[in-house]
Amino acid sequence: MNIDMITASAERGAGQVRRTPLLNSPFIDDLAGRRVFVKAEALQHTGSFKYRGAWSALSALGHNALRAGVIAFSSGNHAQGIALAAKEHETTAVIVMPSDAPSLKIENTRALGAEVVLYDRAGEDRDEIGARLAKERGLTLVKPFDEPQVIAGQGTAGLEIAEQAAEFGVDAAEVLVCCGGGGLTSGIALALADRAPAMKVRPVEPVDFDDVTRSLASGQIERNEKTSGSLCDAIITPQPGQITFPLMQKLCGPGIVVPEEDCLRAMAVAFMRLKLVLEPGGAIAFAAALYHGDTLTSDPVIAVASGGNVDADIFRMALEKYGSDL
């Protein structure tokens, strides 16, 4: 993994991957007690950064592999990214999804033309299912994070952050990134190490799913005890990746662990002050910027708002609980 893979991915994705804006608001700065910039990656195609990695992986395949089709396993956002990228590359996608994924994500994946195979998150191993189907049908498996071309694609968000922050005169900041398996986190960290070396990435995770934070602290890969039961469904993974963890270990500052409830509050703030729809997992880095300032050392901070694929009833709950506080 190196910066050249990220710039090559950016070139392949030019005109296709959306350049999402870097937003700010005086109201948010007041609330956080420091300047905050938000990379609005929920505005990416399919509603999350996962489209970057998906486009990157598909566009890097050779002709025959592309024609044969791809397979992916995902709680939803990677699924939608792969489904749309496959459609745009005029090939087929099979998506292995947990049966408890939000219905919206399952429906969207199907509507984008993919074949969805559901599995039980607690009792079955998605890697095994994915490998078996890939072999049976001659499909190329596109892993959600521990895959070099996917990491390179997520890293293109880091290239944009460096450029857009420079337009605001910012070259040094902590960059808070929602972290599941570490694909986005390590990709952005790689890009910034080259383009904005005074920036430092901090992974942000939900309480009870802080495998990366603990792994960075202990110096070895740690697993989560729980594998489901969080509103932040998009960023729940058993453990950091074999490729992503060494990158994060080399490049990232300590992790930050945030309660779910803070994600709901941050969703209401993003609604009110940025006009941006975020899902709980996609709001967690923004929540860290707003409510966990004691763990931060820089001013400004940059928070990556990584996705917005939330069912209407959960969004309504966030507004009902916190929409009138502001």
> Does residue 244 contact residue 186 with C-beta atoms inside 8 Å?
yes
- Is position 276 an interface residue for a second copy (rule: CB under 8 A)? yes
Count of residues that interact with a second copy, criterion CB under 8 A:
38
Question: Least distance in Å: CB of 43 to a second copy?
Answer: 6
Stretch 53-112 residues interacting with a second copy (CB under 8 A): 84, 87, 104, 108, 111-112
> Does residue 204 contact residue 288 with C-beta atoms inside 8 Å?
yes
- Is position 323 an interface residue for a second copy (rule: CB under 8 A)? yes
Per-residue x/- track, 33-52, a second copy (CB under 8 A): -------x-xx-x-x-----
> For the CA atoms of 305, 91, 148, 179, what is the dihedral angle to 10 degrees?
20
Stretch 183-222 residues interacting with a second copy (CB under 8 A): none
Closest by alpha carbon to 137, among 175, 92, 201? 92
Q: By C-beta, is 40 or 151 nearer to a second copy?
A: 40
- Is position 156 an interface residue for a second copy (rule: CB under 8 A)? no
Stretch 300-319 residues interacting with a second copy (CB under 8 A): 308, 312-313, 315-316, 319
- Is position 269 an interface residue for a second copy (rule: CB under 8 A)? no
**Euclidean distance between CA atoms 296 and 302, whole angstroms:** 11
56's CB contacts (< 8 A; 6+ apart) are 9, 12, 13, 149, 150, 152, 153, 154, 156
Q: 116-125 b/e with 16+ CB inside 10 Å = b?
A: beebebeeee
Q: By C-beta, is 164 or 237 nearer to a second copy?
A: 164
**Euclidean distance between CA atoms 71 and 24, whole angstroms:** 38
> Does residue 149 contact residue 155 with C-beta atoms inside 8 Å?
no
Using DSSP, state whether 189 is helix, strand or coil: helix
- Is position 275 an interface residue for a second copy (rule: CB under 8 A)? yes
- Is position 278 an interface residue for a second copy (rule: CB under 8 A)? yes
Stretch 157-186 residues interacting with a second copy (CB under 8 A): 167
Question: How far, rounded to the nearest angstrom, does the alpha carbon of residue 216 sit from its chain's CA centroid?
Answer: 19
- Is position 235 an interface residue for a second copy (rule: CB under 8 A)? no
Q: Which residue in 4, 128, 163, 320 binds a second copy (CB under 8 A)? A: 320
Binding site for a second copy (CB under 8 A): 15, 18-21, 23, 25-27, 40, 42-43, 45, 47, 84, 87, 104, 108, 111-112, 167, 268, 271-272, 274-278, 308, 312-313, 315-316, 319-320, 323-324
